[in-house]
Amino acid sequence: MTVYVNTANKGTVNMRAEPSKSAKVLAQIPYKTTLEAEYVNNLWSKVKFNDKSGYVMTEFLSSGKAVTHSDLQQIYNSLKDTLNMIEKVLN
């Protein structure tokens, strides 16, 4: 299953050796990184990152790709341009 790192502060998330906040940190995974999850449950998910397997708190993952303000601005501008062209055709 594909999941995405989606932290509220757009920071990294720790991948740990075991599903515990006190377990060794194996890697820090950047915001918006695409991961493959072996399994997902309410608290911890087992994921692969840079050829390593480890655990990430599920609250920092989403099933949909994270969208930034910049992404939304680009979508808005594209739609605005399209609507302007349609308006010119109709008038």
Residue 80 resides in a domain: no
Give the pair of three-digit tokens for residue 8: 């509220």
Quote the pLDDT of residue 73.
84
Range(s) of the domain holding residue 32: 2-66
Quote the pLDDT of residue 66.
60
Nearest residue to 62 via CA among 7, 13, 17: 7
**Cα-Cα-Cα-Cα dihedral sign, residues 49, 23, 66, 36:** positive
Quote the pLDDT of residue 13.
96
**Radius of gyration for the chain, computed over Cα atoms and rounded to the nearest angstrom:** 18
| Total domains, the chain | 1
Residue 58 resides in a domain: yes
CATH of the domain at 41: 2.30.30.40
Residue 39 resides in a domain: yes
Residue 89 resides in a domain: no
Q: What is the pTM of this model?
A: 0.70
Please, what are the averages of pLDDT over each run of 10 residues along the chain (91 residues)?
A: 89 96 97 92 95 95 74 83 90 84
Quote the pLDDT of residue 20.
97
